[in-house]
Amino acid sequence: MFFSQAGARPRMWEASPSEHKKWVEVFKTCDEENKGYLSREDFKVAVVMLFGYKPSKIEADAVMSSVDLNTSGILLKEFLDIVRKKKEAQLYWNEIRHIFTAFDRHYRGYLTLEDFKKAFKQVAPKLSERIILEVFSSVRAAMRLFCLDSSGYSS
């Protein structure tokens, strides 16, 4: 359940043949005029079809800025790479959410230092309290980058 290195992302994820086929079908569906590439709007539709949300302007800009300048849009190979990376990120954050939920035993939406201590005593009983405090502090610092909660809780 935990990664081998603190903060490490999972290894490169491989799509199953059926998932890969689905991605290719979505590409072809969104490339209505058989141009061989997806325009910005085509890409947005493809993301909705695969992930269930419309990408923000920032996300679409980032993707389009990474496209080969010799093409007018996202080629199939690039699209498959983008989708694989998005799927990897989705799986990574789902695992993080799963771990957080396991630690949040009172379903409060945040973790106290006591929650951390109890969780680590279960999964790593020989881990020193100093290390647990360092991990808790690191998580709090990282979470402050994502939210403005200064209550002292990891959420």
Phi, psi of 54 (to 5 degrees): -85, 125
Those residues with Cβ within 8 angstroms of residue 13's Cβ, 6 or more apart along the chain or in another chain: 84, 87, 88, 91
Residue 2 lies in a domain: no
Do 77 and 139 reside in the same domain of the chain?
A: no
Residue 130, domain extent: 106-155
Residue 120 lies in a domain: yes
Question: What DSSP assignment string belongs to 118-139?
Answer: HHHHHH-TTS-HHHHHHHHHHH
Cα dihedral value 55, 57, 58, 61, nearest 10? 100
Residue 96 lies in a domain: no
pLDDT tens-place string over residues 53-91 = 999 999 999 999 988 777 789 999 999 999 999 998 888
Do 57 and 114 reside in the same domain of the chain?
A: no
Q: What is the domain count for the chain?
A: 2
Residue 7 lies in a domain: no
pLDDT tens-place string over residues 97-151 = 888 888 887 888 888 888 888 888 888 899 898 998 998 888 777 766 655 444 4
Do 83 and 123 reside in the same domain of the chain?
A: no
Query: What's the pLDDT band for 12 if we cut at 50, 70, 90?
Result: low
Instruction: Please identify, among 68, 91, 114, the residue that sits at the C-terminal boundary of a domain.
Output: 91
